[in-house]
Amino acid sequence: MMPIGPLMIEHRLIERMIAIMKKAVERFEKDKKADTYFMDTAIDFIKIYADKCHHGKEEDILFHDLKKKKISPEIARIMNELISEHVFGRNTLNKLIQSKEKYAEGDSSSLDSIIENMKTLCDFYPRHIEKEDKHFFLPCMKYFSAAEQKQMLGEMWEFDRNMIHKKYKEVLADLEHK
Where does residue 169 rank: exposed (0-12), middle (13-18), buried (19+ CB within 10 A)? exposed
The pLDDT confidence band at residue 178, using thresholds 50, 70 and 90, is: confident
Rounded to an integer, what distance in angstroms lies between the CA atom of residue 11 and that of residue 46? 12
- CA 82/CA 101 separation, integer angstroms: 28
Answer whether CATH 3.20.20.370 is correct for domain 4-172.
no
What's the pTM value of the predicted model, to 2 decimals?
A: 0.92
Return the domain boundaries, the chain: 4-172
Q: What percent of the chain has pLDDT over 90?
A: 85
Alpha helices by DSSP H, the chain: 4-31, 36-44, 56-57, 64-66, 73-104, 111-131, 137-141, 146-176
DSSP per position, 75-90: HHHHHHHHHHHHHHHH
Question: Could you report the per-residue pLDDT of 48-60, keeping only the tens digit for each?
Answer: 999 999 999 999 9
Biggest alpha carbon–alpha carbon distance for the chain: 55
Mean pLDDT for the stretch of residues 15-21: 97
CA 54, 49, 33, 22 torsion-angle sign: positive
Give yes or no for a contact between 140 and 66, defined as CB atoms under 8 angstroms apart. yes
The answer to whether 131 touches 123, Cβ cutoff 8 Å, is: no
Minimum mean pLDDT range among 63-67, 97-101, 162-166: 162-166
Give SS3 for 2.
coil
pLDDT on residue 1: 67
Average pLDDT over residues 16-22: 97
Are residues 54 and 17 in contact, defined by beta-carbon separation less than 8 angstroms? Answer: no
> 122-132, pLDDT tens digit by residue?
999 999 999 99
